[in-house]
Amino acid sequence: MSKKILLPFLLMLSVVIVSACGNNNSSNNGAASPSASPSASASSSESASPAASPSASASENGTITYQSELGPVEVPANAKRIVALGYAPNIISLGGSIVGVDEWTNKSPHFTEKLKGVEVVSEDNLEKIIELDPDLIVVDASSKSIDKLKEIAPTVAFSWGKLDYLKQQVEIGKLLNKEAEAQAWADDFTKRAKEIGDQIKAKIGENATVSVFETDSKNFYVFGDAWARGTEILYQAMGLNMPEKVKADVLGPGYYTLSPEILSDYAGDYLVLSRSATGDNSFMKTDTWKKIPAVKNNRVIEIDTEASTYSDPTTLEYLLNIFKEGFLK
């Protein structure tokens, strides 16, 4: 079926589905402020990762078969026109050629230069995606438009939180036929992060605790060990400790909303504070904030929210350097 014929058919189908089910938002696969991020409500799954057997087999006609969690998908061996409705930072970090990207990735300062001229797209605008003539589409498995996207180009879906941050990058590497490169980075990053973590523990003490807070000017949040903002680095790679209160209330759901009055109850000996430089940060002048021991002891490391809401190699390398300088200064 030609794309000229396919387009009106898809648009008519979209209208029918929207009328029946209502609009669906695509996931950005990062973890923006819990109240705003489509993927922030996704919880980690205990389901098995994609098959351990080789997930991509070479073909003489320039394609590979990627064994996705939804079944095998024949994809280009060297995709040139990727529409990334999800996992764009992971793809960019491996040098993937993106022609369409989700709005959340487009807001990250890490990718501003690399995304110049790239269209911002969503699954709600199939016509724009068709116009980009993609040879591969990557999307979150929660998308309601996967079947429609498959009619446009080979489509691979991942479930946010199903894999840990390192395995997720390796899976993206398999998809892009760059598994060795992705695995090499994962191994090297793990080694370097542990070494820095050991240095940090030697300085602050083996039993010192660290909390990761965020404010979006309206609410406060505290995060577990797998919700971006460097949580994977601090707790998983470095093995730093979180306060017992955080373990009890946050590890399960991934994040927890806090009122200003109880911030101290969840504050560790050290704080990582995610905030927007352009947001209302007047709370930092309040007595409630100033009385937190970590604040009084000048043990607060600040990170930019917009630059920290993913767990891809580019973002992780940026945060690793911040933590190294912040803890070891």
d(CA 264, CA 221): 12
Q: Tell me, yes or no, whether 132 and 202 share the same domain.
A: no
Tokens of 249: 């209330």
The answer to whether the beta carbons of residues 161 and 40 sit under 8 Å apart is: no
What was the pLDDT predicted at 28? Answer: 54
Longest dimension (CA), the chain: 67
Q: Tell me, yes or no, whether 167 and 37 share the same domain.
A: yes
CA angle 264, 266, 268 (to 5 degrees): 85
What was the pLDDT predicted at 227? Answer: 97
Q: Tell me, yes or no, whether 10 and 154 share the same domain.
A: yes
List the alpha helices (DSSP H) in the chain: 3-21, 88-93, 103-107, 126-131, 146-150, 165-175, 179-204, 231, 244-250, 263-266, 287-290, 293-296, 313-328
pTM beyond 0.85, yes or no: no
- Over residues 292-301, the pLDDT tens digits come to 999 999 999 9
DSSP E strands, 114-162 = 119-120, 136-140, 155-158
Sign of the Cα pseudo-torsion (266, 269, 274, 276, in order): positive
Tokens of 112: 């501003």
What was the pLDDT predicted at 149? Answer: 98
Last residue of a domain, one of 177, 198, 222: 177
SS3 label, residue 189: helix
User: Number of structural domains, the chain?
Assistant: 2
Q: Which residues of the chain have pLDDT under 50?
A: 1-27, 35-55, 60
Q: Which domain covers residue 230, as residue numbers?
A: 182-328
The per-residue DSSP string of 204-239 comes to: H-TT-BEEEEEE-SS-EEEE-SSSSTTHIIIIIIS-
What was the pLDDT predicted at 218? Answer: 84
Q: Tell me, yes or no, whether 22 and 168 share the same domain.
A: yes
Q: Tell me, yes or no, whether 17 and 136 share the same domain.
A: yes
Q: Tell me, yes or no, whether 250 and 291 share the same domain.
A: yes
Q: Tell me, yes or no, whether 195 and 171 share the same domain.
A: no
Q: Tell me, yes or no, whether 322 and 200 share the same domain.
A: yes
Q: Tell me, yes or no, whether 120 and 192 share the same domain.
A: no
The β-bridge partners of 155 are 137
What was the pLDDT predicted at 277? Answer: 82
Q: Tell me, yes or no, whether 224 and 98 share the same domain.
A: no
SS3 label, residue 146: helix
Dihedral class, residue 101 (left if φ above 0, else alpha if ψ from -120 to 50, else beta)? beta
Q: Tell me, yes or no, whether 202 and 117 share the same domain.
A: no
Domain CATH for 222: 3.40.50.1980
What was the pLDDT predicted at 266? Answer: 98
- Over residues 188-226, the pLDDT tens digits come to 999 999 999 999 999 999 999 999 999 987 899 999 999
